[in-house]
Amino acid sequence: MGTGMFDYAPAPESTALVDIAASYGLYIDGAMVDPLDGTPFKTVNPATEEVLAEVVAAGPRDVDRAVAAARAAYDGTWSRLSGRDRGKYLFRVARLVQERARELAVLESIDNGKPIRESRDVDVPLAAAHFFYYAGWADKLGYAGFGPDPRPLGVAGQVIPWNFPLLMLAWKIAPALATGNTVVLKPAETTPLTALAFADICRQADLPPGVVNIVTGAGDTGRALVEHPGVDKVAFTGSTEVGRQIARSVAGTRKKLTLELGGKAANIVFDDAPLDQAVEGIVNGIFFNQGHVCCAGSRLLVQESVADELLDRLKRRLATLRLGDPLDKNTDIGAINSPAQLDKIRELSDVGEQEGAERWSPACELPERGYWFPPTLFTGVSQAHRIAREEIFGPVLSVLTFRTPAEALEKANNSPYGLSAGVWTDKGSRILWMAQRLRAGVVWANTFNRFDPTSPFGGYKESGFGREGGRHGLEGYLDV
């Protein structure tokens, strides 16, 4: 893509700022340490398949050591520190993330495959903003509406996904530390590098040892962490299936649980919507971050009377998207994060064809190496199709039509998920009517995929429970 309407010269971001070590240990009790029973594995650049570094899949003893360090830090320092001082540490962290923003953005794009434009303009600035926001809460918790002196829970075990590695780390660590908890965080197996860079930020901030511990690894490490008896709080962002397993594993304990899980958001376009803006919103909704977004607008519901016109405009727009080198500043669509995810996207897309939906992609040359999937849309999709029901977590849009607002609403809510939804119309009363009735935790009206540290985010139904962001985000880390 990129040929035809416009040609762009390559504009790659420099990687000079990034210094990736050949191998990494675990960040426990304020130091990078060798594993006790962990085993090494490699993290690769999904755009090139090059090995970036060797990291540790932490074993049960490693997790045990990290939880013990977090407990000692909780009892010994962090829970005794004033809110003001906790806040000052977090302000430091926010500033350090800002100071090292370009480095973190490049690192994120290399490890994750996302376009540098997104890591630079969205992921990293939002991560810094999240720390800055919760830093300010640390000495104001008595005003947050949870009583005069709400208490922390203790040690938080946090497991985060690969789609927004540093941003999800910020969503987890910032409120946990602001409220006085200490953390053991496990980044996703395919994207450990920015979390390990964050360990260095903790060093620069002089954060007391053990307040933040980073254990890398895959599912087994995550399971060891959430099932560890020394953990008081479990926070997980990821698939609904793993969320269910975690909910079962904490049953019968006193662990507090928050889950931010999958979605199958309806993005609803009415016939009076400004169509060009809606097209931009649809593109942003499903092709942002290659569609690796739990709140992606993966079901387009378009009013029948404007369906043809909208699809024409959408297809013209998709033909201008540039897919390729994530580090190129002109790139719109980067690499799929892993071969496993690529297989899943391919499989569900094939199912879409087999079930009778019509598949379309713009002419698009995929790089020879790396993991890639072209922007794809399916028309003629029914509510029963798997591509209308299951989360694909890739750049694949399913298009359905409707005639009346009531029908749009019924189709939008016909999902076990309830994370987000979009509404596009010029009619204010209709926006509010829809917003009231959509069973979803976030409703974007005439916009999509907006995030802010002050704005509570989280799901209804099988998209999980608990909120991250805003005053609401404190609650999951307080004994209330």
Residue pair 333/364 in contact by the 8 Å Cβ criterion? no
Q: Report the nearest approach of other proteins to the CB of residue 161 (Å).
A: 17
Residue pair 257/243 in contact by the 8 Å Cβ criterion? no
The packing angle between helices 60-76 and 219-226, to 10°, is: 40
Q: Binding to other proteins by residue 288, rule CB under 8 A?
A: no
Q: Report the nearest approach of other proteins to the CB of residue 58 (Å).
A: 25
Residue in 248, 368, 384, 429 binding other proteins, rule: CB under 8 A: 248
As a whole number of angstroms, the distance between CA 127 and CA 179 comes to 18
Q: Which is nearer to other proteins, 20 or 480 (CB)?
A: 480
Residue in 247, 319, 351, 366 binding other proteins, rule: CB under 8 A: 247
Q: Binding to other proteins by residue 455, rule CB under 8 A?
A: yes
Residue in 301, 461, 476, 478 binding other proteins, rule: CB under 8 A: 461
Q: Which is nearer to other proteins, 328 or 468 (CB)?
A: 468
* DSSP-assigned beta bridge partners for residue 260: 237, 464
**What is the token pair recorded at 87?**
């806040």
Q: Report the nearest approach of other proteins to the CB of residue 145 (Å).
A: 7
Largest CA distance in the chain: 65
Q: Cα separations (Å) of 211 from 62, 155, 182, 368?
A: 16, 9, 5, 44
Q: Which is nearer to other proteins, 229 or 252 (CB)?
A: 252
Phi then psi for 180, rounded to 5 degrees?
100, 10
As a whole number of angstroms, the distance between CA 322 and CA 332 comes to 5
Q: Report the nearest approach of other proteins to the CB of residue 442 (Å).
A: 5
Which residues touch 385 (CB under 8 Å, ≥6 apart)? 352, 355, 356, 357, 398
* DSSP-assigned beta bridge partners for residue 376: 396
As a whole number of angstroms, the distance between CA 165 and CA 423 comes to 28
Q: Binding to other proteins by residue 144, rule CB under 8 A?
A: no
As a whole number of angstroms, the distance between CA 164 and CA 191 comes to 9
Q: Binding to other proteins by residue 442, rule CB under 8 A?
A: yes
Q: Binding to other proteins by residue 452, rule CB under 8 A?
A: yes
Q: Which stretch binds other proteins (CB under 8 A): 159-167, 305-313, 322-330, 436-444?
A: 436-444
Q: Which stretch binds other proteins (CB under 8 A): 50-58, 191-199, 328-336, 461-469?
A: 461-469
Q: Which is nearer to other proteins, 136 or 230 (CB)?
A: 136
Q: Which stretch binds other proteins (CB under 8 A): 113-121, 383-391, 403-411, 430-438?
A: 430-438
Q: Which is nearer to other proteins, 94 or 399 (CB)?
A: 94
- Residue that the structure tokens 């003893």 belong to: 61
Q: Which is nearer to other proteins, 154 or 464 (CB)?
A: 464
Q: Report the nearest approach of other proteins to the CB of residue 244 (Å).
A: 5
Q: Binding to other proteins by residue 444, rule CB under 8 A?
A: yes
Residue pair 450/440 in contact by the 8 Å Cβ criterion? no
Q: Which is nearer to other proteins, 395 or 422 (CB)?
A: 422
Would you put residue 20 in left (φ > 0), alpha (ψ -120 to 50) or beta?
beta
Active site members: 260, 294
* Long-range CB contact pairs, 407-412, < 8 A, 24+: 408/266, 408/268, 408/270, 408/301, 408/303, 408/434, 409/434, 409/437, 409/438, 411/266, 411/301, 411/383, 412/266, 412/268, 412/299, 412/301, 412/438, 412/440
Q: Binding to other proteins by residue 314, rule CB under 8 A?
A: no
Q: Report the nearest approach of other proteins to the CB of residue 48 (Å).
A: 34
Q: Binding to other proteins by residue 241, rule CB under 8 A?
A: no
Burial class, 429, CB count within 10 angstroms (exposed 0-12 / middle 13-18 / buried 19+): exposed
Residue pair 337/113 in contact by the 8 Å Cβ criterion? yes
As a whole number of angstroms, the distance between CA 335 and CA 113 comes to 5
Question: Pattern of binders to other proteins over 410-429, x per CB under 8 A?
Answer: ------x-------------
Q: Binding to other proteins by residue 460, rule CB under 8 A?
A: yes
Residue in 251, 368, 384, 429 binding other proteins, rule: CB under 8 A: 251
Residue in 84, 244, 316, 403 binding other proteins, rule: CB under 8 A: 244
Using CB under 8 A, list all residues that contact other proteins.
129, 145, 240, 243-245, 247-248, 251-252, 254, 259, 261, 416, 431, 435-437, 440-447, 450, 452, 454-458, 460-465, 467, 470-472, 480
